[in-house]
Structure 1
Amino acid sequence: MSMINDLLGPMGFIIIAGVLGLALIAVAAGMFLLQPADPLKKLQATNATATAPSRENRLRTDNGNNKLEKFSHFLEPQDEEELSSIRLKLVQAGYRSRNAVRIFYFAQMVLGLGALGVGLLYAFLASQNQPLETKQMVIYALLPAVVGYMAPRYWVNKRQEERQKSILEGFPDALDMMLVCVEAGQSMDQSIIRVARESREGYPALSEEFEIVAHEMKAGKDKAVVLRDLSERAGVPDISSFVTVLIQSATFGTPITDALRVYAEEMRDKRVMRAEEKANTLPTKMTLATMGLTVPPLILILIGPSLYGIVEMFDKMK
């Protein structure tokens, strides 16, 4: 320990442990990347190539682009409930790729280790000028690692909230347009396609969801299942209620125009109520800013002349 402290300073032991840990991670990653492919998977891919059409092979087989496939055991939670939860969160945030879960956990690992390395480097440089206490060294090393590890989760949560807000804002207008299309004689599938095309510029997230619904209906998927998937992907209560109305209308045989008209009116009322709620909370939010910006100048204007007169009076008394 004395030799290590002489060579590297008080942080020598932590630096050596960190370097060894990174070296072990690099060796393990290299071994996983260089390991031979599973013969059973090779056989399955060969059989699929021989029996399936060329386009289907391009869609279903792995052409070497999936670099994280070998690390799926480490980059995906083994608990099925946790895996479904994080996958749903990523879908609601707009990340629908096959490797979204793996990329998410890979980003957490890389950012966490990278921030840990930066923290250790900063602690080492800071200890050269002044010896650090153990508490300070732990804070300098672990705090950046925690921030780096939590940064992808914060980003996904932020994207999920923004996307749901965008869908909620554009849904009343899309519902009115859908009602106009249905009353003009178009079917529900055609109206969804038209709404997706017309709302692409203003509300891209909502347009994307309606396009997915249109493609799934064209593919022959059951309409009730498609609508429930829409409700799950959006994660917005208004969309869930809309899906429930459509399914009940189709189940009981009631006219879809009546259901859309009533629900569109309700959505317009809810939008007005949300605007009124924001307007009513505005005075409360502005109270502190108003007091901070107006009260000090007002006090200065009212008391300033008196204070100036008092100061002049004391000067004359002197």
Structure 2
Amino acid sequence: MNPSAPGPTLLGIDVYMVATGLVAVATFALMLAIYAVTTVRDPMAGRLKALNERREQLKAGITASTSKRRAKLTTTNQTTDRMRSVLSSLKVLQDSQLKTAQIKLAQAGIRSKDAAIKVIFGRLVLPIVIGGFVIFGVYVLDWFPEWSAMKRYIVTAGALILSYKLPDIIVKNKITKRSAAIRKGLPDALDLLVICAEAGLTVDAAFHRVARELGKAYPELGDEFALCAIELGFLTDRRAAFENLAQRIDLEAVRGVVTTMIQTEKYGTPLASALRVLSAEFRNERMMRAEEKAARLPAIMTVPLILFILPVLFIVILGPAACSISDNFVGK
């Protein structure tokens, strides 16, 4: 076979060249997958390393200065006070709006009260900064001269709306991720609560124990249970501690657990049996959710099957026959 002879073509495209490119892409994807698998890092390793470094610093006496911490805290408070004064002067800071923002931030795992002021201030400033920049670029600098007036209006209006909703979108994303992480560990936490209740521990001690045992596997859930245990210890109304737990977690399952705990505290019903029923219910719900995702797979896989798998299959099956037919016609 003459190596300089042209290879078979399909629709004017060299088949050998296309096959070589596909092999190169597959090899690169394989190497990337091997690299991703072999370089998986344990998240606890970084925490342990940071903890050991901090321990060594404390042993050597290298600690942060108290005056620097106080100055940093004072600077942060001054910035927040300026934001609060600006919002108050513009009559856009309402108590209900501030309370709603604090609840959303608590559900996202951010417990700083100053963060609510920053979110509300971001809603005010971001449309002015980002929207003004887009308006200046589109209408003054004439970035897209070929665009019609309607396209320019749509772009500027979209920039203004997106910049206004950007803080809420970020907070909502954090809430969704945190709620999903808590939902995964809730059945295990209820099982541990059942064991602690049957062992004779009080509710406060049971929450402390569950927070300590599940803190590594589910840090979000352990954090919330630890805070609830602390509130149970110092709040005069124990019902308020459970209601705060339901308020900080945006899950119906947690609200059901809180309702059960409140009824147990009020009427003296057996805690272990109620939590065992809830745990079984949550496990069944998690299984149903997994089955639902599995049932959606055929519909989800239809688009990748049509776009990526079937064309390759047709090329592999019909490609040699098409090449032969093309060579015969060219030879004749």
Question: Displacement, 1:203?
Answer: 1.9
Are the structure 2 counterparts of residues 128 and 113 from structure 1 closer, same or farther at C-alpha, using a change threshold of 3 Å?
closer
In structure 1, how many angstroms separate the alpha carbons of the residues matched to 2:211 and 2:272?
19
Are the structure 2 counterparts of residues 274 and 302 from structure 1 closer, same or farther at C-alpha, using a change threshold of 3 Å?
same
The corresponding residue for 2:301 is 286
The corresponding residue for 2:171 is 156
Are the structure 2 counterparts of residues 299 and 76 from structure 1 closer, same or farther at C-alpha, using a change threshold of 3 Å?
farther
The corresponding residue for 2:11 is none
Counterpart amino acid of residue 228 in structure 2: V
The corresponding residue for 1:85 is 100
Counterpart amino acid of residue 292 in structure 1: L
Question: Displacement, 1:79?
Answer: 5.8
Are the structure 2 counterparts of residues 221 and 278 from structure 1 closer, same or farther at C-alpha, using a change threshold of 3 Å?
farther
1:181 to 173, 187, 196: 196
Counterpart amino acid of residue 70 in structure 1: S
The answer to whether the 8 Å contact 2:134/2:159 transfers is yes
1:269 to 284, 291, 303: 284
2:258 to 227, 243, 255: 243
The corresponding residue for 1:5 is none
Are the structure 2 counterparts of residues 281 and 137 from structure 1 closer, same or farther at C-alpha, using a change threshold of 3 Å?
closer
The corresponding residue for 1:252 is 267
The answer to whether the 8 Å contact 1:122/1:140 transfers is no
In structure 2, how many angstroms separate the alpha carbons of the residues matched to 1:128 and 1:255?
70
Size of the aligned set, in residue pairs, is 257
Question: Displacement, 1:281?
Answer: 2.2
Question: Displacement, 1:308?
Answer: 2.5
Are the structure 2 counterparts of residues 129 and 189 from structure 1 closer, same or farther at C-alpha, using a change threshold of 3 Å?
closer
Within 5 A, what are the aligned runs for 1:37-56? none
Question: Displacement, 1:241?
Answer: 0.8
The answer to whether the 8 Å contact 2:107/2:249 transfers is yes
Question: Displacement, 1:132?
Answer: 6.8
Unaligned runs of 5+ in 1: 1-57
Within 5 A, what are the aligned runs for 1:1-318? 66-73=81-88, 81-123=96-138, 126-127=141-142, 134-135=149-150, 137-139=152-154, 141-317=156-332
Are the structure 2 counterparts of residues 105 and 75 from structure 1 closer, same or farther at C-alpha, using a change threshold of 3 Å?
farther
The answer to whether the 8 Å contact 1:109/1:149 transfers is yes
Are the structure 2 counterparts of residues 174 and 211 from structure 1 closer, same or farther at C-alpha, using a change threshold of 3 Å?
same
Counterpart amino acid of residue 176 in structure 1: D
The corresponding residue for 1:49 is none
In structure 2, how many angstroms separate the alpha carbons of the residues matched to 1:251 and 1:125?
67
TM-score, normalization by structure 2: 0.67
In structure 1, how many angstroms separate the alpha carbons of the residues matched to 2:213 and 2:127?
42
Counterpart amino acid of residue 295 in structure 1: L
Counterpart amino acid of residue 86 in structure 2: F
Are the structure 2 counterparts of residues 78 and 123 from structure 1 closer, same or farther at C-alpha, using a change threshold of 3 Å?
closer
Are the structure 2 counterparts of residues 64 and 281 from structure 1 closer, same or farther at C-alpha, using a change threshold of 3 Å?
closer
Are the structure 2 counterparts of residues 258 and 199 from structure 1 closer, same or farther at C-alpha, using a change threshold of 3 Å?
same
The answer to whether the 8 Å contact 1:195/1:207 transfers is yes
Are the structure 2 counterparts of residues 91 and 149 from structure 1 closer, same or farther at C-alpha, using a change threshold of 3 Å?
same
Are the structure 2 counterparts of residues 160 and 313 from structure 1 closer, same or farther at C-alpha, using a change threshold of 3 Å?
same
User: Highest relative contact order (Cα 8 Å, sep 6+), 1 or 2?
Assistant: 2
Counterpart amino acid of residue 221 in structure 1: T
In structure 2, how many angstroms separate the alpha carbons of the residues matched to 1:208 and 1:118?
41
The corresponding residue for 1:27 is none
Q: Please give the secondary structure, in 2, of the residue aligned with 1:66.
A: helix
Are the structure 2 counterparts of residues 63 and 127 from structure 1 closer, same or farther at C-alpha, using a change threshold of 3 Å?
closer
Question: Displacement, 1:126?
Answer: 4.4
Question: Displacement, 1:295?
Answer: 0.9
In structure 2, how many angstroms separate the alpha carbons of the residues matched to 1:259 and 1:177?
13
Counterpart amino acid of residue 180 in structure 1: I
Unaligned runs of 5+ in 2: 1-72
Question: Displacement, 1:306?
Answer: 3.1
Q: Please give the secondary structure, in 2, of the residue aligned with 1:127.
A: coil
In structure 1, how many angstroms separate the alpha carbons of the residues matched to 2:329 and 2:104?
70
Q: Please give the secondary structure, in 2, of the residue aligned with 1:265.
A: helix
TM-score, normalization by structure 1: 0.70
In structure 1, how many angstroms separate the alpha carbons of the residues matched to 2:143 and 2:241?
62
In structure 2, how many angstroms separate the alpha carbons of the residues matched to 1:217 and 1:88?
20
The answer to whether the 8 Å contact 1:76/1:83 transfers is no
